[in-house]
Amino acid sequence: MLKDLFIVQVFVKGGPVMVPLFLCSILAVAVVIERIRFYRRIGRSPESFMKQVKAALCARDFTEALRLCRREQHPLARVVAAGIDRLDLPKDALMDVMRQEALRQMKRYEKNTSMLSGIASISPLLGLTGTITGMISAFSVISTIGIGDPTALAGGISEALYTTAAGLFVGIPALAAFHWCEGVTNEFGDSVEYYSLDLANFFAGAEASYEKAVA
């Protein structure tokens, strides 16, 4: 029977505060699944992709370089494509163009992660709210019938403990998931900075070599 399951008993005994905690847990799981699917979709390291782009640029085949960028799923490709479109700019201006596109792509990495941060903050507070309401119920029983009936007293105390535990069980994984997503986002930011500078330096060097060869 469904009502005999431990998780159902905990949900019922925890009182009304368990409803928002349950909703928070569902939302956190949904966000984590969505983020995992996104990170897996963009998956592989952009190093081999950047080697192909550099080879195309070295051959001054800008059309092929852009084709490689449009074929690649990694958000870094959009940043590189923005730079290739404006290779006529000076190095600093070219870096600014790529950084601007990087900010746009960064939003894809940060999508919904603020929800995880909010859930990690709210869940323990909801658990604390349940603790307070449970203790109020316990003291209400004491004021009504005294401490002679431990069964009646235990109901309010168990409600307090169940909600505290539930708040922590939801909040701690949500906080861990948020920091994991933040780490992936920071790694992308570092990659963008590295490869943007690398591309700008590479093209500046290639242009200098080309001008010497022409001269």
- For residue range 60-70, what is the model confidence (pLDDT) as tens digits? 888 888 888 88
Closest alpha carbon to 32 in 168, 171, 169, 174: 174
Q: Mind giving me the DSSP string for 134-203?
A: HHHHHHHHHHHHTTS-HHHHHHHHHHHHHHHHHHHHHHHHHHHHHHHHHHHHHHHHHHHHHHHHHHHHHH
- For residue range 74-109, what is the model confidence (pLDDT) as tens digits? 888 888 888 888 877 787 888 888 888 888 888 888
In a domain, 199, yes or no: yes
In a domain, 16, yes or no: no
Per the structure, the complete domain to which residue 143 belongs is given by 33-214
Separation CA 196–CA 215 (nearest Å):
28
More confident residue, 124 or 59: 124
Q: What is the pTM of this model?
A: 0.75
State the chain's mean pLDDT as an integer.
79
Q: Which of 109-113, 188-192, 210-214 has the highest mean pLDDT?
A: 109-113
Residue type, 193: E
User: What per-residue confidence (pLDDT) applies to 61?
Assistant: 83
The structural domain count of the chain equals 1
In a domain, 20, yes or no: no
In a domain, 87, yes or no: yes
